Amino acid sequence: MSKMTRRLFMLSAPMAIAALSAGQAHAQAIPLNELSRYFNQDLVTATGAFTQVNGDGTISTGTIYIKRPGRIRFEYAPPEPSLVMAGGGQVAVFDPQSNAGVDRYPLSETPLSIILERNVNLGQRNMVTGHTSDGSTTTVRAQDPAHPEYGNIQLVFTANPTELRQWIVTDDTGTQTTVILGDLSKGGNIPDRRFNIQAEMRDRGL
């Protein structure tokens, strides 16, 4: 993957999420079936602000668009010139500062695909490898059971009501990315064209 790809999906988190003992954490954590329900019923389409803390200490901000299954778009605020989007089973990284053109790779090979599935099932065998609470947030670590070598995603939720607040993706090299979400506006119609990689390439003359 390119440097820009790694910057989006695999940057290190600046904060550590403290966990209680295994028994206490499991008792206080939001149940996995509730978290799966949240994705499948509440987080079908969503728009909101995000903050990305980069491995070099810099911070990027922008707007995120989610349209499950399989579609997500990160529009970075100036002066960041990049755009990252997923659609049609692919992830595309548009970096005007790169001479390599558009970097594309299969969405299925990124841990982020776990929460973009049509039917998220965190109770699937060998998918969840960590499920803890620190008393105010629930953290779930999940992986593709068929391909754990692709890495994992840590999802951080608050309760009452259940809301996704942050994720940390770790790739197969151990490199991490943190994305912190603002309040998401859920529902509504997001045009499919926002996730059309070919259309974006035509718009950019690529």
Angstrom distances, CA of residue 140 to CA of 65, 146, 168: 22, 18, 10
pLDDT in tens, 101-136: 789 999 999 999 999 999 999 999 999 999 999 999
Q: How distant is the alpha carbon of residue 163 from its chain centre?
A: 14
Q: What is the largest CA-CA distance in the chain?
A: 56
Q: Please name the residues in contact with 130: beta carbons below 8 A apart, sequence gap of 6 or more.
A: 139, 140, 141, 154
CATH number of 3-187: 2.50.20.10
Which region among 25-34, 82-91, 158-167, 193-202 has the lowest average model confidence (pLDDT)? 25-34
State residue 113's pLDDT score.
Answer: 95
pLDDT in tens, 81-96: 899 999 999 999 998 8
Average pLDDT of every residue of the chain: 86
Please, which pLDDT band fits residue 97 given cuts at 50, 70 and 90? confident
Q: How far is the C-alpha of 198 from the C-alpha of 196, rounded, in Å?
A: 6
In the predicted structure, residue 30 carries a pLDDT above the cut 90? yes
In the predicted structure, residue 73 carries a pLDDT above the cut 80? yes
Average pLDDT over residues 36-47: 97
Q: How far is the C-alpha of 45 from the C-alpha of 184, rounded, in Å?
A: 10
In the predicted structure, residue 201 carries a pLDDT above the cut 60? yes
State residue 55's pLDDT score.
Answer: 65
Q: Which has more pLDDT, 32 or 59?
A: 32
pLDDT in tens, 6-17: 444 443 333 433
